[in-house]
Amino acid sequence: MIPTVTTQLTWLVIVYALLAFLLLVLCLATRWHWAVKLGGVGLVSGFYLLAHGTLMGIAGWPSDDRLPERFVLLAAVFDEPSPGRGHEGAIYIWVNPMKDNAPLAMPRVHRLPYEKDLHRILGDGLKKARDGNTQMGSTEPIRGPGGFSWLRPPGNDKLQIKLSDLPRAQLPEK
């Protein structure tokens, strides 16, 4: 784990432990109705979970969010599945989202479920990138069976990832 993240998580735990202790003292020392005390305990616990999840999302951990529609491929790591250990595998992909045909400044790592075809596509893209051809990616939803798409959970839609060479920048004439 990254040392800065570990320190921040440690401080987060300490702060919420002190807050929980303060809440315990208030619950024992006051004559508040039991519903108010229960609400306070639920509120403190909920805020801890929310803050912990938010910090993990900011700190560089892989995001399970959907890939951007257009991006520049920076790197990928393939964690192949191991059925004997019950490990499903994953693909970690570092991308720079593109906005107005220009990559944004900060890259982001995304975790995708392991698929052999995606492994092949990204592996070929990384080989081209090592040869000096920067790879631009795009995502399109795979058209699945019809029906009630609003019944399916969000973010569970399969995406088709396509890679192509990033067009070379045209230098201005002298």
Instruction: Verify that 150 and 99 share a domain, yes or no.
Output: yes
12 is a domain residue: yes
For tokens 């560089």, name the residue.
Answer: 60
Same domain, 152 and 75: yes
- State the DSSP H helix or E strand holding residue 163, giving kind and residue range, or none if neither: strand 159-165
Q: What is the mean pLDDT of residues 121-134?
A: 92
Query: Helix crossing, 3-29 with 34-58: angle to 10°?
Result: 180
**113/115 Cα distance (integer angstroms):** 6
Minimal CA–CA distance to 109: which of 93, 128, 130? 93
Q: Is 38 in the same domain as 97?
A: no
Q: Strand 90-99 to strand 102-103: parallel, antiparallel, or no bridges (unpaired)?
A: antiparallel
Residues 47, 100: one domain?
Answer: no
Once rounded to an integer, what is the mean pLDDT over residues 103-131?
89
Domain count, the chain: 2
Query: 78 with 136, same domain?
Result: yes
pLDDT for res 77 = 93
User: Residue 119's pLDDT is what?
Assistant: 93
What digits encode the pLDDT tens for the residues 48-107? 788 777 776 666 678 778 888 999 999 999 999 988 888 888 999 999 988 887 777 788
pLDDT of amino acid 148: 57
Which pLDDT value is given to residue 173?
A: 83
pLDDT tens-digit map of 34-48: 898 888 888 888 887
Q: Are 81 and 104 in contact (CB under 8 A)?
A: no
In this structure, the answer to whether residues 45 and 100 fall within a common structural domain is no
80, 7: one domain: no
Model pLDDT for residues 1-30, shown as the tens digit of each residue:
334 456 766 777 788 888 888 888 888 888
Range of the domain at 159: 70-165
Say if 7 falls within a structural domain: yes
Whether residue 90 sits in one domain with residue 25: no
Cβ atoms of 124 and 163 within 8 Å: the answer is: yes
